[in-house]
Amino acid sequence: MSCCAASAAQTSRNDAATTASPKSGTAAGAARCAPERRSTIAGTATETASATLHHLDNSPPLQGWTDKPSARESQRLAMLVMHQEVQMMRIFCAAAFLGASASWAQPMKILKADYQIDSVDRGIRLFVREKKAEGAKAGEDNVVLFIHGATFPSTPDFDLQYKDYSWADWMVQHGYVVYMFDKRNYGFSSREKAMDEPAAANRPVSRSFLVIRDIGAVVDHIRAKNKVSRVTLIGWSWGAMTAGYYTSLHGENVRKLVLYAPLYENSLHTNIGAGSGLQDKRVPWQFNYGMGAYRLGSAEANNKRWDGEIPVQDKTEYREQGVQDAFNAAALATDPTSNTRTPPSLRAPNGVMEDSFYQATGRRMWNAANIYVPALVIAGEDDTWSFPQDREGLMRDLTNAPAKKHVTLPHATHFVLFEKQRFRFFEEIDSFLKSSASAGR
């Protein structure tokens, strides 16, 4: 590869990893550069050598020369001049390419909009965040909705503004128009009265059958705003449960479905099933309603759970130092009451815990056989919420999905989106979403 082309290729590869902008300027510059070199090097160098020799014909002999240069000297001089022309052309090409790259390498401008919409149920307002590149056009193939899990709302999960940990920004840089929202009683969405009372005074709030009404409201909003008929859903943990639940009922609104760390079917769930704190010890087949309307989530509790999933003593083998603190701080900031408790903690509805207990003890809320869109089932191998049996059950029941794929990521936990394997995780999902083999019906 020529010097100019090699420089162009290397710069292109480096820029593509961090920016997105029109390729035409650089490509055209490189294309102009190469033909000029081919024509100019052969022609201009010979012409320059000829002119130099003509000058020598009419000039006093150079020191050491007694007459006109010999044919060998003329050839040597021509080669020398040609070499100088090549070097000058390389400098010219590099300068031209750098000039083009200066405009091409401008960082992508990501636009963010935060707002609220009405849910289906009166009095419930849902927080929505939209992120997209400036000038991006939405279509069925690039509009995605992230659906958060059981404890934390959407923004710390999918848009953590710490180094390069925002999955939303990564998706925008890869051509997507991204949405996320907070389910009722989470984050910046409406909180009902029970969330401001002692937890024990009420039964669990935000049951899944209500939350899928919130999903429906957001999906309908996105469809109307972007003039598309279908939206891709990406659900994490309980978000995968509710995304699957919604899709099993409203598949006509969904283009593709990504189930990240889903709970589905496993009678051996010791942390949320039989024998766990979620079970009523007096009525073993029933959920422990003594847990109340909500629970408290602290940084310490989250760290303990995350650390417990990493099966090696040195946690930095899986996770970069600092990301835990950044995530916990972002999560606690979504609850205005978090600093009124010691240690600081956010309120997380217990409706998910009731539904998860029943799901883990054989009483499923939905059947994957009712899903008629392409589906990706993905999780880390060390996840203790989503077990292989859950994912195998999903793959078994996804009989009507036109395409289905199961991916297990090694050296990854329930929190792989914040771990060292995150880019492989992102790329697996991106590949599935862009694959024509899973384009749907």
Residue 183, classed as helix, strand or coil, is coil
Cα–Cα distance measured from residue 120 to residue 118, given in angstroms and rounded to the nearest whole number: 7
- For the stretch 71-85, pLDDT in tens is 554 454 455 445 444
**CB-count exposure of residue 261 (10 Å: 0-12, 13-18, 19+):** buried
Check pLDDT > 80 for residue 351. Answer: yes
Q: Is the torsion defined by CA of 103, 12, 172, 168 positive or negative?
A: negative
| 166-175, 275-284, 295-304, 376-385: range with lowest mean pLDDT | 275-284
pTM: 0.77
Q: Strand order of the sheet with strand 404-409?
A: 110-118, 125-133, 177-181, 143-147, 231-236, 254-260, 375-380, 404-409
Yes or no: say if 314 and 388 are a contact pair by the CB < 8 Å rule.
no
- For the stretch 38-60, pLDDT in tens is 333 334 333 433 443 334 344 44
Yes or no: say if 180 and 146 are a contact pair by the CB < 8 Å rule.
yes
Alpha-carbon dihedral angle through residues 254, 255, 256, 259, given to the nearest 10 degrees: -10
Provide the pLDDT confidence category of residue 297 given band limits of 50, 70 and 90: very high
Q: Name 379's bridge partners.
A: 408
C-alpha pair distances (Å), 421 with each of 208, 377, 383, 432: 30, 17, 13, 17
Segment 175-196 shows an average pLDDT of 99
Yes or no: say if 232 and 219 are a contact pair by the CB < 8 Å rule.
no
Topology of 110-438 in CATH? Rossmann fold (3.40.50)
Question: Backbone dihedral region of 392: left (phi > 0), alpha (psi from -120 to 50 degrees) or beta?
Answer: alpha
Mean of the per-residue pLDDT values of the chain: 83
Give the residue carrying structure tokens 């309980």: 238
**CB-count exposure of residue 86 (10 Å: 0-12, 13-18, 19+):** middle
- For the stretch 310-319, pLDDT in tens is 999 999 999 9
Check pLDDT > 80 for residue 205. Answer: yes
The H or E element spanning position 219 is helix 208-226
Higher pLDDT residue, 344 or 60?
344
- For the stretch 61-112, pLDDT in tens is 434 333 444 555 445 445 544 544 445 455 444 444 444 444 445 789 999 9
Question: Which residue ranges does the chain devote to CATH 3.40.50.1820?
Answer: 110-438
Peptide bond into 343 cis (omega under 30): yes
Q: Tell me the one-letter amino acid at 62.
A: L
C-alpha pair distances (Å), 104 with each of 133, 164, 277: 15, 21, 56
Cα–Cα distance measured from residue 430 to residue 176, given in angstroms and rounded to the nearest whole number: 10
Other C-beta atoms closer than 10 Å to the C-beta of 67 total 6
